[in-house]
Amino acid sequence: MQAPSMWRHTLTFFPQFLAALKERAESDSTVTVIGASDGRLVVPLVAAGYRVIAIERDPIALHGGEVQLPGDRTGHAMGLIDRLKREGFYDRVQVVEDDFLETGPATTRCDAVWTSCSWHYSANHHQPLSEFVNRMQRLVRPGGLFGAEFMMPITQRHHMLEHYTSPERLRQYFIGDWDVLLTLRTNEFSEQAHVGQLQDHTHRMGLLLAARASTPS
């Protein structure tokens, strides 16, 4: 039996991104996923016919290994690479094992870029949020799609960190050649303990989808 994703029970706005992608891009377009993790959202993109560039820095997410589970248990997590091989998708994914914020500028733009709850992690706070967003934007070709779901602030500590943001605050980065297509937000909701967050916890999440103009304005 195939090992399930470590993040299979967590909420995601990915269906909204996929619907916009199907509406705006060819079926064999290239999508870059920033923070690909163990492939939870990479596999459905490949299954839908897209070519994927998967960028991930965590060796366990990439190669699998022992992880701490809720209830003071440990278990083995399947990594992205083994998951792709089991699905027969390995040849359709370019896996980049690197820190997205430390890599050089991309030489080839893609048709869409997506990230899921990546920039709020403390490991990504060594660069301002604007740099993270700007690097993602630079990957998107004219006419392409940008998609990001992200954690919104709940506690006072969160309000002091720009990496816990909101759709309204993100809009300031999408002027000129960008058109914001959709923003969504949740109310506070409870989520069960999972890998990386070993106690039940409360979240707020947001989504921003934007399209780059086909020609510069």
CA-based nearest residue to 137, from 212, 209, 208: 212
Q: Is 216 or 14 the better-scoring residue by pLDDT?
A: 14
Q: Is residue 2 part of a domain?
A: no
CATH label of the domain that carries residue 121: 3.40.50.150
b/e 109-126 (16+ beta carbons within 10 angstroms → b) = ebbbbbbbbbbbeeebee
Sign of CA dihedral 21, 166, 43, 62: positive
Domain containing 149 equals: 14-212
Question: How many domains is the chain built from?
Answer: 1
Is residue 206 situated within a structural domain?
yes
* Residue 13 and residue 209 in contact, taking contact as beta carbons nearer than 8 Å: no
Phi/psi at 97 (5° precision): -90, 90
Average pLDDT over residues 192-203: 70
**Assigned domain for 6 exists:** no
Confidence label for 105 from pLDDT (cuts 50, 70 and 90): low
Query: Tell me, what's the pLDDT at 1?
Result: 36
Q: pTM for this one?
A: 0.90
Cβ–Cβ under 8 Å, residues 167 and 13:
no
Q: What digits encode the pLDDT tens for the residues 168-179? A: 999 999 999 999
Q: Please indicate, yes or no, if residue 178 is contained in any of the structural domains.
A: yes
Does some domain include residue 8?
no
Q: What is the pLDDT of residues 110-168, one digit of tens each?
A: 999 999 999 988 888 889 999 999 999 999 999 999 999 999 999 999 899 999 999 99
Cross-strand bridge partners of residue 76: 66
Could you give the CA distance from residue 163 to residue 85 in angstroms, rounded to a whole number?
34
- pLDDT average, residue stretch 98-112: 81
Within-domain flag for 203: yes
